[in-house]
Amino acid sequence: MTPALFVQSAIIGVSLASIYILMALGLTLMFGMMHIINFAHGAVYMLGAFVIYYVFFQGGAPYFAAFVASMILLGIFGYLVERSIYRPIKGGIEPTLVALIALTTFLQAAGYPVFGQLDKHVPPVFPGTRNILGVGISIERLMIIPLAGALVIGLYLFINKTRLGAAMRAIEQDKEAAALQGVNVHVVNGLAFAVGFALAAASGALMAPIFKLDPMMGEQPLLKAFIIIILGGLGSIPGAILGGLMLGLIDSIIATALGAEPAFLLSFVFIILVLLFKPTGLFGYAP
Amino acid sequence: MTAPRCVRWAAFLAVAGLAFVGWGSAHAADVIKFGVSTPLSGPAAPWGIPHKNATELIFDEINAQGGLDVGGKKYKLEVVAYDHKYVIAEGVATVNRLIAKDGVKFISILGGAVVKANEEAVNEGRVLNLPLAYADGLVSPRNPLTFHSFPSPPETTTFWKWIKQNHPNLKRVATISPNDDTGWWSIKVETTFIQKLGYETVAKEFFERTMTDFNPVLLRILAQKPDIISVLASPAGSVGLIIKQARELGFKGRFIHIGQVDTSVVANIAGKANVEGMWVHGFVQAPLPEKVKSWQARYTKKYGEWNATSIDFTNPAFAFVAAVRKAQSVEPKKVADALSIVEFDNLWGKAHFGGKDYYGVGNQIIYPMPFSEVKDGVATLVVQLLPPHN
């Protein structure tokens, strides 16, 4: 592999990792607080992309307005899911899992009659390429990195610098103790659903102009996000960031050097090795 | 009402009921069900939707004329279609349902991997299959009731001879294809053929059908500096992404798909300018011969929107109707025997099943295949070629 090819594949890997990280952050946030794995995350990613399709491409709204609309709409949807699914079944982990799988299946199945059977596309928001260290990279892909980075920083500040974030951290550490301290667990759980869904929607909204849109488009990113949170440690935000970066770089650099199949296999070998030495993941802790 | 009158009424109703059921059975027997297992959703839907629509339209037109005359009896033709999403498990489930539940004896399956997975079910069920699919060993003496109704790579690779003669500057070829039976076989056939013509195959990559980010694979390919990239056997959605991402990475050469792909769907994803110069088989937007223009008008009238992929996907229905008329039977074996000898018209000219020299059995459709080049965003017919075997 030439140095130029390495640089090109590394930049593409970081761009890819940015999306994985956004997906994984929403998942890990919800797992950390409620110990649920949100199987609907991929479907929410898909809905986030379709909001861009309808609001930006079909509706003619500015891309960033559509992006914010996507996060807000899916955030509200997340809050409603907490109210209508998670809360009525009183936070039972297994019933919630089954209910979220059912929600995913419903959203994907409903996607074909609602959005149409053919793949959709969104025109480029940042067309063209930029030369970086002698290699051409699509500006669209480059723009993902600062946009996703801004969202990650925003989430970090929200979790660590606001009262609501402190309430989330308190619930993550000890739900009963947090409730005794006056934290409204239901409201904060609802907020965690809203934030988690909004992050998945942001991932979909960022990817909409780069890939094609179809009701099943969230399955692959969801699988990647699962791998990342296991690699980084369930419930760990720094773990999700580091895990996402590692997986994105492995996916891109190894696939460029050896091909897609070896990269797929090697990413799993790498995860197994990490889990052999640290079964709780890179930043995870034993319950 | 007295008791005897009640009994008489009951008897009358029973007889009337039996007569109705009898009429219903006789009526049901006058329908020939034709199963279609095809992707109606997902990335391969641009193939599946025109497959189903083309079959239905041809059958509707025959039904409007009173039906298909077999031995002096008129049969209505009915399409029973299921979506397999180009997922093998769904393909197996839909074909089992068609054979076991719907009782079809004639079927058309789209997708190489799906057809291969159903080989046993089709052979054991003694069902006549008219697939649109690329797969190694599909056309073979092992599958006597399978009549492949679309030109495969052994037929369409002949277009490379035309390229060699008309574009001698193109020398280095890279291929990228789905990582399954369809992709492996298609690329094996294509690379063997083009290497004999003197082309250098500089890269050969395979991808999972769910893949959307082709950048790493394309970086590998582009490092070998190909003049032309073949995307044989890839569905339109994937081809669109491959072309878009390859252009972003700086590829200036040509693309070719000698399978079949809707270049308008590809252009929607890749951008019109990026698809310019692409060569494709089986997708023509202009100029259309009169016969195809008439088909376009009828298709657009029924479905509201024209789909040029439907042109070549009429083959299973045309072949089936011609064979039933020739056989004057609705027995799959007799219809298959008729398929072996019947010559019929498809939208590009005279068609028949042949290729025995190549496949060992004459079950491959043969006709003057259309090849086009995307010019100003339009897939423009450049040449019609017969396969190297008859």
Q: Look at chain A and count its residues.
A: 287
Whether B96 and B143 share a structural domain: yes
- Reading the block at residue B367, the tokens are 């006709």
At residue B27, the pLDDT reads: 47
Instruction: Return the structure tokens found at A46.
Output: 């898909």
Rg (CA), chain A: 19
Q: Is the pLDDT of residue B21 over 50?
A: no
Q: What pLDDT, in 10s, does the model give residues A171-205?
A: 888 888 988 988 888 899 999 999 999 999 999 99
- Please check the confidence at residue B221 and state whether its pLDDT lies above 60: yes
Cβ-defined contact of A216 to B217 (cutoff 8 Å): no
Tell me the pLDDT of chain B averaged across its residues.
Answer: 91
Structural domain for A10, as ranges: 3-216
Q: Is A9 on the interface with B (CB under 8 A)?
A: yes
Distance from CA of B144 to the nearest CA of A (A): 34
On whether both B144 and B164 belong to a single domain, the answer is no
pLDDT of residue B1: 41
pLDDT above 90: residue A264 = no
CATH code for the domain of B95: 3.40.50.2300
Q: Identify whether B5 is part of a domain.
A: no
Chain segment B101-129, per-residue pLDDT in tens? 999 999 999 999 999 999 999 999 999 99
Residue B118 corresponds to which tokens in the numbers above? Answer: 């159903």
How close, in Å, is residue A119 to chain B by CA atoms?
Answer: 6
Q: Which pLDDT belongs to residue B26? A: 40
Residue B354 lies in a domain: yes
Tens-digit pLDDT profile for residues A238-250:
899 999 999 899 8
The single-letter DSSP state of residue B72 is T
User: Does B109 lie in the same domain as B48?
Assistant: yes
Residue B139 domain boundaries: 28-151+289-368
- Domain contains B379: no
| Pair B160, B268 in one domain | yes
Question: Is B303 inside any structural domain?
Answer: yes
Tell whether B212 and B169 lie within a shared domain: yes
Q: Which residues, listed in sequence order, are joined to residue B68 by a DSSP beta bridge?
A: B75
Q: So what's the pLDDT on residue B181?
A: 84
Q: What percent of chain B has pLDDT over 70?
A: 93
Domain count across chain B: 2
Do B219 and A8 touch, CB atoms closer than 8 A?
yes
What's the confidence (pLDDT) of residue A1?
76
Whether pLDDT at B55 is above 80: yes
* Confidence class for position B19, pLDDT limits 50, 70, 90: very low
Q: Is the pLDDT of residue B160 over 70?
A: yes
Q: Chain B contact for A212, CB < 8 A?
A: yes
pTM: 0.84
Contacts from B145-149 at CB under 8 Å and sequence distance 24+? B145/B332, B145/B333, B145/B336, B146/B115, B146/B119, B146/B122, B146/B363, B147/B319, B147/B336, B147/B339, B147/B353, B147/B363, B147/B364, B147/B365, B148/B363, B148/B364, B148/B365, B149/B108, B149/B315, B149/B316, B149/B319, B149/B365
Residues B198 and B304 grouped into a single domain: no
CB contact under 8 A, A5 and B223: yes
How many independent structural domains does chain A possess? 1
Those residues with Cβ within 8 angstroms of residue B352's Cβ, 6 or more apart along the chain or in another chain: B342, B343, B344, B365, B366, B367
Taking 80 as the threshold, does the pLDDT of residue B8 lie above it? no
Dihedral pair phi/psi, residue A69, rounded to 5°: -60, -40
pLDDT confidence tier of residue B164, bands split at 50, 70 and 90: very high
B180, B270: one domain: yes
Nearest to A66 by CA among A92, A80, A47: A47
Over residues A135-149, the mean pLDDT reads: 89
To test the contact with chain A by mutation, choose from B215, B268, B306 the residue with the greatest count of A C-beta atoms within 10 A, namely B215
Find the residue in B nearest to A254 (Cα): B216
How confident is residue B28, by pLDDT bands cut at 50, 70 and 90? Answer: very low
The residues near B140 (Cβ < 8 Å, ≥ 6 apart) are: B359, B360, B361
Alpha helix (H) residue ranges in A41-117: 41-51, 63-81, 93-115
Beta-strand ranges (E) seen in chain B are 31-38, 68-70, 73-83, 106-109, 128-129, 172-178, 200-207, 228-230, 254-257, 279-281, 344-346, 349-354, 364-366, 369-375, 378-385
Task: Please work out, in degrees rounded to the nearest 5, the angle formed at the alpha carbon of residue B307 by the alpha carbons of B302 and B311.
Answer: 95
Task: Give the pLDDT mean for B263-286.
Answer: 93
Contact B278, B373 (CB under 8 A): yes
Q: Please check whether residue A104 lies inside any domain of the structure.
A: yes
Q: Is 50 exceeded by the pLDDT of residue B25?
A: no
ipTM reported for the complex surpasses 0.90? no
On the question of pLDDT at B7 being above 70, the answer is no
Amino acid in the structure at residue A271: I
Tell me, yes or no, whether B298 and B223 share the same domain.
Answer: no
**Looking at residue A181, what is its pLDDT?**
86
A265 contacts: CB under 8 Å, gap ≥ 6: none
